[in-house]
Structure 1
Amino acid sequence: MTLADGITELTPGKIAAVVTYLQMFARPASRDVSLPSGLSVQRHAAPTVDWYRDLYRLVGEDYLWFSRLEMADEKLAAHLARDAVEVWSVSRAGRDLGLLELEWFDNGDCELSFFGLAPDLVGGGIGRWLMEHALERAFARPIKRFFVHTCTLDSPQALGFYERSGFEAYGRAIEIVDDPRNRGLIALDKAPQIPLLPAG
């Protein structure tokens, strides 16, 4: 479906985001960044659904990340256990505060599925270090393309960060969904920067 030029009214309870698709075909030159003292990174092979969703919420709730919250437990557990999926966390004092998820596909693509830090870790170069780690992991396998998408519900810094990391935009779309707060997936007080409008 193609939207007509101009303003399109949304059904009550819906939210809309402009999605930007980005990609790269070769590993950019490495940047000299280091993980700040007191932090560690760990891979989680077949993490539990509860652990994963707790970290996913911590990192993404204020941007209305919801896709993994509505996925059935069995389906999510099977996804996380796949050899083609890697889940990493950034931790401080034993608490997981950053999420990196990568997925490799048979066609030679690798997706940066989820990437984010809890508010406690934003700033200080941690994101740059985690991206270097993501690039290293992605291109450790013989891939043709590394891709990611972001949207206007994400952090305002996200798009520029991905471009500075070597991704180039190649496509754009509009995503319209039911507000996950009205569906009970996310607490009503989350993402205050996105006004909550009643459904129906």
Structure 2
Amino acid sequence: MKKAAKKPLTARVTFLEMIQRHVTAVPPPSGMMLALLRAENCPVHFYRYLYEQVGRPHHWQVRRKQSDEVVREIIRSKKTLLHVFYVDGCPAGFAETSLRALPQQAEIICFGLVPDYQGRGLARFFLRGVIAAAWGQDPGKLVLQTNSLDSPRALQLYQKEGFAPVGTKDVVIEPWPDK
């Protein structure tokens, strides 16, 4: 028997930008082995695994319906920074930053932690590393967007780290299907 389709979700998207680099470092949380590694030539299946683990609870859509060929072209492009965050040797999150609009801006397309690693004081340290890598490409500004389906602490974190809201809009999002 076929399951009924889930109803579309409405979300408020907030657009944010950072126009100045941070100069202070965030100390790493103690008691854990942490590594933020740039992933070059990332296999599509590993990217999709991370995308689903991080994005499913928040109904991320950007890469969900793109073909493997399109995703491969994007994530292996020299205009994309892909970072994987490891905690005690396990993948705990990832970030994707687009450099396509350089020198005007860099855009953090995806950023997040796997649910098992949320609420452990890791997001700020992880985000600072992603921000530093993006500013290392010398953009005029750094932009990102979040929405009301993301972690309830996401918007606060971005603002604490120096991003300022510059606009909002309401969107309809197709929910992820049940597993």
TM-score by length of 1: 0.80
What residue is the counterpart of 1:81 in the other structure?
76
What residue is the counterpart of 2:85 in the other structure?
90
Larger CA Rg, structure 1 vs 2: 1
Are positions 1:30 and 2:45 aligned together?
no
Alpha-carbon distance in structure 1 between the residues aligned to 2:29 and 2:38: 15
Query: Which 4+ runs in 1 deviate beyond 6 A?
Result: none
> Structure 1's 168 and 115: CA in aligned 2 closer, same or farther, altered over 3 A?
same
What letter is aligned with 1:155?
S
Partner SS state of residue 64, structure 2:
helix
Q: What is the alpha-carbon root mean square deviation over aligned residues?
A: 1.7
Alpha-carbon distance in structure 1 between the residues aligned to 2:49 and 2:67: 15
Gaps of 5+ in 2: 1-5
What residue is the counterpart of 2:3 in the other structure?
none
Q: How many residues align?
A: 172
Tell me which of 11, 20, 24 is aligned to 1:17: 11
1:42 deviates by 1.5
Are positions 1:64 and 2:59 aligned together?
yes
Kept after mapping to 2: 8 A contact 1:43/1:88? yes
Kept after mapping to 2: 8 A contact 1:42/1:88? yes
What residue is the counterpart of 1:5 in the other structure?
none
TM-score by length of 2: 0.88
> Structure 1's 124 and 180: CA in aligned 2 closer, same or farther, altered over 3 A?
closer
What letter is aligned with 2:34?
L
Alpha-carbon distance in structure 2 between the residues aligned to 1:112 and 1:33: 22
Aligned residues with identical type, % of pairs = 25
1:103-118 residue pairs with structure 2 within 5 A? 103-104=98-99, 105-118=101-114
Are positions 1:176 and 2:172 aligned together?
yes
Kept after mapping to 1: 8 A contact 2:44/2:72? yes
Partner SS state of residue 128, structure 2:
helix
What letter is aligned with 2:113?
L
Partner SS state of residue 136, structure 1:
helix
Kept after mapping to 1: 8 A contact 2:59/2:174? no
Tell me which of 93, 115, 120 is aligned to 2:116: 120
1:93 deviates by 4.1
Partner SS state of residue 153, structure 1:
coil
Deviations 1:95-143 (A, max 9, x none): 2121111111235210011111112222333111111111211111221
1:35 deviates by 5.1
Alpha-carbon distance in structure 1 between the residues aligned to 2:174 and 2:156: 27
What letter is aligned with 1:109?
Q
Tell me which of 118, 136, 141 is aligned to 1:140: 136
Deviations 1:149-196 (A, max 9, x none): 000010100101100010000000111133332xxxxx25xxxxxxxx
> Structure 1's 21 and 95: CA in aligned 2 closer, same or farther, altered over 3 A?
same
